[in-house]
Amino acid sequence: MPYLGSEDAVKDLKRALCNPHIQADWLRYRNVIHNVIRHMTQGVDVSSVFMEMVKASATVDIVQKKLVYLYMCSYAPHKPDLALLAINTLCKDCSDPNPMVRGLALRSMCNLRMPSITEYIQQPIHNGLRDKASYVRRVAVLGCAKMNSQQGDVEVDGSIVNELYSLLRDPDPIVMVNCLRALEEILKGEGGVVINKPIAHHLLNRMADLDLWGQNEVLIFLLRYKPRTEEELFDILNLLDSFLKCNHTSVVMGATKLFLVLVGKFPNVQADILVRVKGPLLAACTSESKEVSFVALCHVREILHSMPGHFSSHFKKFFCSYNDPHYIKNQKIDILCDLVNDENVHSILEELRVCCTDISIQLAHTAIFAIGRIARTYSEKCVSILSGLLEFKQEHIASAVIQTFRDLVWLCPQCTTTVCLAISGCEEIIQDNEGKQALIWLLGVHGNLIPNAPYILEDYVDNIKTETCPTVKIELLTALVRLFLSRPAECQDTLGHLIYYSIGEYVELIIIYM
């Protein structure tokens, strides 16, 4: 038996397709076509059986037609001459009494991805837009967008656009939504589909007939419409009100976004809406679906930007779970920083302290920097926690804490003395460049509060030849000059050695590049 992918296997398939005895047995014939598709999906070149597959499309068996059309759509761009022969079969099927066959043929014709056949598919698409079967109209509407993309920079056909706008009132809700997407694609050069008052109110009245996908799509398009009067605005809000109670999170979020955009001039109404969606949003944040949970957390962050502390009473909902993926933990930590107040600060800081010792270095850094953000308001509590983290003597923890201390003394000068007492001994732990720069900066700027600051810098200078990071060297020189101004006797020799080394290194670079 020839192995899969060999030329003999393809020849056997071709002989089987031409065998009249196999053609007479519809089940065997379909199995052979199945084998052709199986070879095709596994990367085998079966283009040599194109003519035989075109002939196989002349059948009343819907399954067989689907398989053959799948094959033709895959190989038509590689066999353009032979593909034109298939057009006749497809055009004929577009007039078949069975609407499933008509829709299948029209969809396959639009998927051939051959600009040369545009003239052949225009009339079937026009006929499909007026077809009695809703399935065919759905396919024809999407076919308009596909045909437009194949034509490139050709001017938009106004008759097609007018036909699609009229089909927005089609009794089938899927046809209506497909029209919106097709018009958006065809008119993208002109700003997309235009949503005026009649279209907006029609879409709102049809919302209840749409599935979840359709409701999401319509809510996005309705963002383009601006009510002209306050009375019209509240009529629209009344129509949308029920979608704030939908069981599906994406619909609730879409309706909420539309509500907030429409009532931008009414802060009291905005606040009322956010209170109403709090329950569904919190439920979504704890969803078993990580994707849904992440999206809901993103919405919470956006809401907190306009209403700080809105979810403060539910802060425990945003505590990290052991099985949360990293990207969700990051979102929760950011939200916790925005929810801190006098009542929950101890609980939130304790949660973040636990995260600081997580096995994930990236998460530990995120939690430490989050404590640094909270320290701008609650500096004493946060500096105490950060100082305690240094006792673990873990490099990545110490580095992040020192970087946080460097930023903190800028914003909260009152905690400088406590920070300077805490950083003693960190020079033996920190090895990464960011941590070294932060520590050296602290030693240079606040070295007058650190008794052994000159001697720590002296150790760095002694090992300057093994230092590979230029920014660390520059920071070291700057820090020594600063410290020399306040403690000249202890820094004079060390600064002299560093300047001598720096001049020598500079001269070497000049010689290299001359």
What DSSP line would sit under 205-267, residue for residue?
HHGGGS-HHHHHHHHHHHTT---SSHHHHHHHHHHHGGGGG-SSHHHHHHHHHHHHHHTTT-H
What DSSP line would sit under 419-481, residue for residue?
HHHHTTTGGGT--SHHHHHHHHHHHHHSGGGSTTHHHHHHHHHHTGGG---HHHHHHHHHHHH
Mean pLDDT of the chain: 88
Q: Outline where DSSP puts E strands in 131-209.
A: none
Distance separating the N- and C-terminal Cα atoms of the chain? 72
Measured at the CA of 367, the angle between CA 365 and CA 368, to 5 degrees, comes to 65
Q: Are 481 and 495 in contact (CB under 8 A)?
A: yes
Q: Are 378 and 337 in contact (CB under 8 A)?
A: no
Distance CA 186, CA 494 (A): 71
Which residues of the chain carry a pLDDT beneath 70? 1-6, 115, 152-154, 506-514
pLDDT of residue 42: 86
Pull the structure tokens for residue 73: 């759509």
pTM over 0.75: no
Q: How far is CA 190 from CA 194, 222, 236, 276, 500, in A?
A: 10, 18, 27, 38, 66
pLDDT of residue 1: 35
Distance CA 72, CA 83 (A): 7
Pull the structure tokens for residue 141: 């509407």
pLDDT of residue 110: 86
pLDDT of residue 2: 46
Helix (H, G, I), strand (E, B) or coil at 336: helix
Pick left, alpha or beta for residue 393 (phi over 0 → left; psi -120 to 50 → alpha; otherwise beta): left
Distance CA 332, CA 323 (A): 13
pLDDT of residue 172: 94
pLDDT of residue 153: 64
Burial class (CB in 10 A: 0-12, 13-18, 19+), 28: middle
Sign of torsion over alpha carbons 483, 487, 488, 491:
negative
Distance CA 487, CA 136 (A): 86
pLDDT of residue 512: 59
pLDDT of residue 278: 86
Distance CA 395, CA 381 (A): 23
Distance CA 356, CA 397 (A): 7
Burial class (CB in 10 A: 0-12, 13-18, 19+), 446: buried
Pull the structure tokens for residue 343: 């009542």
- List, in order, residues 6 or more apart from 451 with CB less than 8 Å away: none
